[in-house]
């Protein structure tokens, strides 16, 4: 439970700070930019991994991987998650439950008949371009463009907002995720 | 500067709490659900007001009202705001500056040639339906559907996420705003 | 893990709020005054319980109870705790580790030779009078006077400051505790 | 109002972070160890300054300096402050108001007859030795020993706890201050 990384956070502060605060025991519950960067990268890797598992080992393996991602990287164990996936609509637009999120990523849930499995589309490359980042204690918000490249080299761009909450173990969890296709002026 | 409302927050706690904590001086910097509700209502009223001012007094008055809204209800004075309006795209998708937000709401800025003024469209009615709310200290996140009705009775629905930050004066400010048209399955 | 109490927090908000926010799923990580009150009461009960266990079942039982209190009500599992007990001094003034805190409450640790076991003194009654309370997100600070009455009816008053942090399970944990005997003007 | 320092916080993150997050606009409301260090040093300097102003320019100047310190470094403008000075007792132990704090530092207030003016004692040197630091969003707690040296070279050591809150302008303000003379075992 001890946030060792946080306790070593004094490293970058220089001699003055080390003389005054740095030699003390420090608990720091705050989110850093490096942690945000890692969490964003991990999301992209996880999305690609689910698709790879689908192609190489089938839907059951892909589903297990998706469950592991939801349990490890999202905040469903802490309550409802504010999740608006890219391709959902109507009364099923928001996926505040783990079941709803799982259906979106891997499909196969008859309660969500429009879900064909976003993570099964064969994404091979992932890039994130942050427009702005807002850090407030153990919560961070990011907004930017995500570029997903599929196996044919076709790039899909989405506008994406994330809200991360740092849990007691020092892990960032997604508690907010709003993804939308770019607006197309007529 | 003293948050009087927060200091009276003990009212609902019952006798036990009053005996122990309630008679003490209490500072409470946290956001309440009532404050979130008020901020969401205020946003809708402001949007309608800008359009009314445009019709009754012209673009200059509408622009002044929009500026007052941005200065009073958004967090641009505290830094960049994570704002993805409904109808923006390309390199101008994100409006992290006050100028970019103003152009979106009232148009007339040649640096944003695609902006025709979202608040000038004559909205007359506003409803918000929260799918979920996340409260974390002085920050709150909401996600849901907004229904805007124009003067002809036509309803436009958008998927909307807001992030509110409570400032030192106890006022909620929008530091995150992601709005998108619903996905249309083909 | 889901903070059910927090999700029902809309109860006191009235009809307006229920119409707008209250029917949504709400996650609320903030500390309430009622939780602070409970945590303060629990600390007093725990102190008395350790002493009762000592008298009725001996030091081993008292020590196990003290360990349960430290593990359940303090934040040592999350890192160092800022603990300055009433009767410590010199290089052992601050008890940032669980071992140091345990020694203070039940004694018997040769590494802390001046500790005779504060919780073994036979306290029978406990009162707390808050001078002020400061609530900031998932952290709350309290300052006031604690009155401890022993079995002979003698009252000891101390000036006490607490810092509580709400953990992921919704439990308040003491991360700061400064206790001192009142200053005696000569 | 823009926290420029925070916006430059990416500097220490290295190339990976800069590639992903660092080129974005970043708002960071969190307290850093360097800011805590600065605030602790500023408190010591301010205490010495009040005494110097008293000796060189008299009580009126000292009082004005003390008022500036209270307004600039404490949180009285935001509500009651949890302040237990070293040498207060009885019903006047806690100084939750600006008046009470001012009386403690410079005396001369007939409502606080026991206050002789702690800052007027001629302190010339100040050291702080943190036992532990706890950082939680825009709030930080420190606990340690303060060593004050007077003009005769005599050192007074106190056990001191501070709670700092970062305001909207990025300035740390003392919202908690518990100071006590070391316990003297008989």
Selecting from B21, B37, B133 the residue whose C-beta is nearest the C-beta of C37 gives: B21
Residue C112 Cα, gap to closest chain B Cα (Å)? 34
Chains touching A, CB cut-off 8 Å, 3+ pairs:
B, C, D
Q: State how far the alpha carbon of B31 is from the alpha carbons of B38, B166, C28, in Å.
A: 11, 7, 9
Mutate one of A91, A107, A163, A164 to test the B interface: name it (highest B CB count within 10 A).
Answer: A163
Residue D181 contacts C, CB cutoff 8 Å = yes
Contact by Cβ (8 Å): B163, A111: no
Span B13-25, average pLDDT? 45
Which residue is closest to B136 within chain A, CA to CA? A139
Span C102-128, average pLDDT? 97
For chain B, give the number of residues: 186
Contact by Cβ (8 Å): B52, B30: no
Q: State how far the alpha carbon of D95 is from the alpha carbons of C131, D76, D173, in Å.
A: 9, 10, 16
- C-alpha closest to that of A10 among C39, D130, B138, B46: D130
Looking at residue C111, the DSSP 8-state letter turns out to be: T
Contact by Cβ (8 Å): B168, B174: no
Contact by Cβ (8 Å): B43, B73: yes
Contact: D41, A20; criterion CB under 8 Å? yes
Span B47-55, average pLDDT? 98
Selecting from D86, D114, D183 the residue whose C-beta is nearest the C-beta of C87 gives: D183
Contact: D17, A9; criterion CB under 8 Å? no
Which stretch of DSSP H or E encloses residue C142?
Answer: strand C139-150
At residue B186, the pLDDT reads 73
At residue B24, the pLDDT reads 65
**Strand D172-180 relative to strand D155-166, pairing:** antiparallel
- Cβ neighbours for D148, distance < 8 A, ≥ 6 positions apart: D47, D123, D125, D126, D155, D156, D157, D158
Q: What does the CA dihedral B154, B160, B164, B170 come to, rounded to 10 degrees?
A: 20
Residue C170 Cα, gap to closest chain A Cα (Å)? 10
pLDDT digits (tens, 9 = 90+) for C7-28: 333 333 223 333 345 556 999 9
- C-alpha closest to that of C163 among C182, C178, C148: C178
pLDDT digits (tens, 9 = 90+) for D113-159: 999 999 999 999 999 999 999 999 999 999 999 999 999 999 999 99
Which residue is closest to B8 within chain C, CA to CA? C33
Asked if pLDDT for residue D109 goes beyond 70, the answer is yes
Which residue is closest to A166 within chain C, CA to CA? C168
Asked if pLDDT for residue C136 goes beyond 50, the answer is yes
At residue D24, the pLDDT reads 64
Contact by Cβ (8 Å): C156, C148: yes
pLDDT digits (tens, 9 = 90+) for A68-105: 999 999 999 999 999 999 999 999 999 999 999 999 99
Contact: C78, A175; criterion CB under 8 Å? no
Write the DSSP assignment of D10-73 as a string of letters: GGGGHHHHIIIIITSEEEE----HHHHHHHHHHHHHHHHHHHHHHHHH-HHHHHHHHHHHHHHH
- C-alpha closest to that of D140 among A168, C77, C176, C168: C176
Which stretch of DSSP H or E encloses residue B65?
Answer: helix B59-73
Selecting from D1, D77, D96 the residue whose C-beta is nearest the C-beta of B77 gives: D1
Contact: C81, D161; criterion CB under 8 Å? no
Rg for chain B, CA atoms, rounded:
19
- C-alpha closest to that of A9 among A20, A21, A19: A21
Q: Check residues B9 and B66 and name the one with the higher pLDDT.
A: B66
Asked if pLDDT for residue D6 goes beyond 50, the answer is no
Residue D35 Cα, gap to closest chain B Cα (Å)? 19
Measure the CA angle with vertex D124, ends D118 and D126; round to 5°. Answer: 85
At residue D21, the pLDDT reads 52
**Low-confidence spans in chain A with pLDDT less than 50:** 1-20
Selecting from B10, B134, B136 the residue whose C-beta is nearest the C-beta of C33 gives: B10
Q: State how far the alpha carbon of A179 is from the alpha carbons of A91, B77, B181, B182, D91, in Å.
A: 17, 27, 11, 11, 57
Which residue is closest to A169 within chain C, CA to CA? C78
Residue C29 contacts D, CB cutoff 8 Å = no
Q: How many CB atoms lie within 10 A of CB B84?
A: 26
Burial class (CB within 10 angstroms; exposed 0-12, middle 13-18, buried 19+) of D169: exposed
Mean of the per-residue pLDDT values for chain B?
89
Asked if pLDDT for residue B4 goes beyond 50, the answer is no
At residue D172, the pLDDT reads 98
List of chain B residues whose C-beta atoms are within 8 Å of the C-beta of residue C36: 21
The percent of residues above 90 in pLDDT, for chain B, comes to 86
73-102 in A: which are within 8 Å (CB) of C? 77-80, 96
Token pair belonging to A61: 């393996």
pLDDT digits (tens, 9 = 90+) for B111-158: 999 999 999 999 999 999 999 999 999 999 999 999 999 999 999 999
Looking at residue C66, the DSSP 8-state letter turns out to be: H
Selecting from A1, A6, A25 the residue whose C-beta is nearest the C-beta of C96 gives: A25
Residue A139 Cα, gap to closest chain D Cα (Å)? 9
Residue D22 contacts A, CB cutoff 8 Å = yes
């Amino acid at each position: 439970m001890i946030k060792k990384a946080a306790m070593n956070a004094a490293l970058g502060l220089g001699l003055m700070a080390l003389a005054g605060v740095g030699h003390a025991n420090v608990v720091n519950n705050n989110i850093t930019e490096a942690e945000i960067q890692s969490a964003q990268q991990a999301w992209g890797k996880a999305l690609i991994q689910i698709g790879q598992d689908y192609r190489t080992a089938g839907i059951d393996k892909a589903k297990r991987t998706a469950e592991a991602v939801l349990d490890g990287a999202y905040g469903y164990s802490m309550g409802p998650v504010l999740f608006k996936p890219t391709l959902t609509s109507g009364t099923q637009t928001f996926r505040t439950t783990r079941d709803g999120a799982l259906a979106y990523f891997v499909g196969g849930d008859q309660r969500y008949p429009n879900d064909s499995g976003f993570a099964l589309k064969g994404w091979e490359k992932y890039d994130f371009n942050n427009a702005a980042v807002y850090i407030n204690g153990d919560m961070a918000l990011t907004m930017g463009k995500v570029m997903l490249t599929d196996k044919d080299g076709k790039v899909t761009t989405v506008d994406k907002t994330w809200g991360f909450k740092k849990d007691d173990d020092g892990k960032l969890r997604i508690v907010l995720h709003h993804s939308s296709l770019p607006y197309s002026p007529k």
